Amino acid sequence: MKRVLITGANSYVGTNVEKWLMREPDKYLVKTLDMKDPNWEKFDFSNFDVVFHVAGIAHVSKKKSLDELYYKINRDLAIETAKKAKESGVRQFIFMSSMIIYGEDNAISDKRHIDISKYNPLNAYGNSKLEADMAIQKLQNEKFLVSIVRTPVIYGPKCKGNFPKLLKMASMLSVVPNISNQRSMIYIDNFSEFIKLLISRSANGVFYPQNSEYMSTTKIIVTARKYLRKRTIKTRLFNLPLRFMSKYISSIRKAYGNKTYDLNLSIEKGFNYHVVDIEESIQRSISI
């Protein structure tokens, strides 16, 4: 049996991974630790085989006043937790890094994959994640395995962030731009299965999990509307101005731009973690 400690109570990812693992109570014992409690440092990590660190500020804000908090939580707390796990004899430490360390989205016409060797964080959120990512990797040795998971957007029922906003928009828009952009994303059940496989195989290294195919904004809207029993008209009327604006306006790139890992990066031998396909994942996400 693997004993797993999730550091970060009540997070979307942590809660769902915990539920996923506990479907097999004979294989996994899972506990969560509230990292907001200043007494977390007194908690005994030595009883666990794996620490899965999810505590952090999850969404980006442009407020410079929050920069110090990003570094305190996303970097310093993560590194302190990893060091404590190592000193306590924990065998594996899994850190939730982020695709954001590679910078902003590409324009609509630019479908180049991310070059994973080139980091370009644009703000304190991205930079704090990158600095923690790099520092934690250096802690690895033969007795302490480090697994860095550079996740794209994680979505699913009751998730937060831009995905539910997109679903809300889908419920209102009957006419949408017919743009075939590409985005690396991962459904929460696929991600939870990936984490389970990391744990069961004691796998270490840097990982780039994603769905088995790319998602597009138009496909998400059209599919969501289908399950809402609403007709959708796709038009190319807006494509040319949107393509032009996406070169200069970040909000357009965020909505209809491209940001992808090469799918080959996400293939791990023996890791069959795609348990839900894209269409079903969208249907499940609106069925709440």
Collapsing DSSP states into helix, strand and coil, what is residue 250? helix
- Average pLDDT taken over every residue of the chain: 93
Mean pLDDT value across residues 212-234: 93
pLDDT digits (tens, 9 = 90+) for 42-84: 999 999 999 999 998 876 666 777 889 999 999 999 999 999 9
The angle, 0 to 180 degrees and rounded to 10, between the axes of the packed helices 124-137 and 78-87 is: 20
pLDDT at 288 over 60: no
Q: Which residue has the higher pLDDT, 6 or 10?
A: 6
Closest CA to 255 of 200, 218, 228: 218
Phi, then psi, of 100 in degrees rounded to 5: -65, -15
Tokens of 20: 């996923």
pLDDT at 255 over 80: yes
Mean pLDDT value across residues 136-161: 96
Tally the residues of the chain.
Answer: 288
Residue 171 — very low, low, confident or very high, per pLDDT cuts 50/70/90?
confident
pLDDT at 201 over 70: yes
Instruction: Provide the total of helices (H) and of strands (E) in the chain, helices listed first.
Output: 10, 10
Residue 30 — very low, low, confident or very high, per pLDDT cuts 50/70/90?
very high
pLDDT at 190 over 90: yes
pLDDT digits (tens, 9 = 90+) for 80-138: 999 999 999 999 999 999 999 999 999 999 999 999 999 999 899 999 999 999 999 99
Residue in the block written with tokens 């006043």: 65
pLDDT at position 54 is: 97
Closest CA to 94 of 168, 5, 25, 180: 5
Sketch out the chain's domains with CATH numbers: 2-160+184-213+263-276 (3.40.50.720)
pLDDT at position 83 is: 98
Tokens of 118: 């080139």
pLDDT at position 232 is: 92
**Secondary structure (DSSP) of 257-270:** -BB---GGGG--TT
pLDDT at position 20 is: 98
pLDDT at 4 over 60: yes
The pTM of the whole model exceeds 0.75: yes
The angle, 0 to 180 degrees and rounded to 10, between the axes of the packed helices 162-172 and 278-286 is: 80
